[in-house]
């Protein structure tokens, strides 16, 4: 009788872990698929630009920014969906649910801050930009051929005003 109870508990634990393993594997597969899609779209863009035709460059740049935003949005949507699954799962522990809720709040907070900073940078006259925030730093890719120190100082001022990040934590990358 005790052996049957132990086997039953082991089977339940295995089923609960199986769901988590499937969720993690799905996240990894999605990340790989997103990376491959991004690579092939960028390779297609690079191959479609004829040599010596400089009129195609702005379109390729716009494609980079649009592709990056699309990839970022789909990855975050998938992350939030996984976190929602953990929160809604009957087998999730209280600490796992609390951690998932915390991660979800951090993601949405970062999304809001990134959107605000991107909008303010564009308002300063930059054609386009992408802002990504992690817990340690902020990365900003700006569409600008000749980014000056004054431009970088304006961007840094926006980041420091809108976030808690300081100058050593801000990376500004010009994209041509």
**What percentage of residues in the chain have a pLDDT greater than 70?**
72
Share of the chain residues as helix, strand and coil, in percent rounded to the nearest 5: 75, 10, 15
Question: What's the token pair of residue 110?
Answer: 């970062």
Please tell me whether residue 141 adopts helix, strand or coil conformation. strand
Which tens digits make up the pLDDT trace of 13-51? 666 677 777 776 677 667 666 766 677 777 665 554 444
Decide if 107 contacts 130 (C-beta within 8 A).
no
**What percentage of residues in the chain have a pLDDT greater than 90?**
57
Q: Can you tell me the distance from the alpha carbon of 81 to that of 23, in angstroms, rounded to the nearest whole number?
A: 10
Query: Facing residues of 166 across strands?
Result: none
pLDDT at position 53: 47
Burial class (CB in 10 A: 0-12, 13-18, 19+), 21: exposed
Q: Give the predicted TM-score (pTM) of the model.
A: 0.63
Which tens digits make up the pLDDT trace of 76-118? 999 999 999 999 999 989 999 999 999 999 999 999 999 999 9
DSSP letter string, 35-95 = HHHHHHHHHHHHHHS-TT-GGGHHHHHHHHHHHHHHHHHHHHHHHHHHHHHHHH-TT--HH
């Amino acid at each position: 009788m005790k052996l049957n109870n132990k086997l039953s508990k082991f089977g339940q634990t295995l089923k609960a872990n199986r769901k988590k393993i499937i969720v993690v594997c799905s996240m990894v597969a999605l990340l790989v698929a997103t990376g491959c899609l991004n690579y092939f779209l960028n390779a297609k863009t690079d191959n479609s630009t004829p040599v010596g035709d400089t009129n195609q460059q702005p379109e390729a740049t716009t494609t980079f920014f649009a592709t990056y935003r699309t990839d970022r949005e789909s990855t975050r949507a998938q992350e939030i969906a996984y976190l929602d699954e953990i929160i809604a799962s009957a087998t999730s522990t209280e600490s796992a649910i609390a951690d998932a809720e915390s991660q979800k709040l951090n993601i949405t907070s970062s999304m809001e801050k990134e959107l605000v900073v991107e909008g303010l940078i564009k308002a300063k006259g930059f054609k386009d930009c992408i802002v990504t925030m992690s817990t340690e730093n902020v990365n900003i890719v700006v569409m600008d051929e000749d980014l000056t120190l004054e431009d970088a100082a304006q961007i840094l001022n926006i980041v420091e005003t809108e976030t808690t990040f300081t100058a050593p934590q801000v990376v500004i990358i010009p994209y041509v």
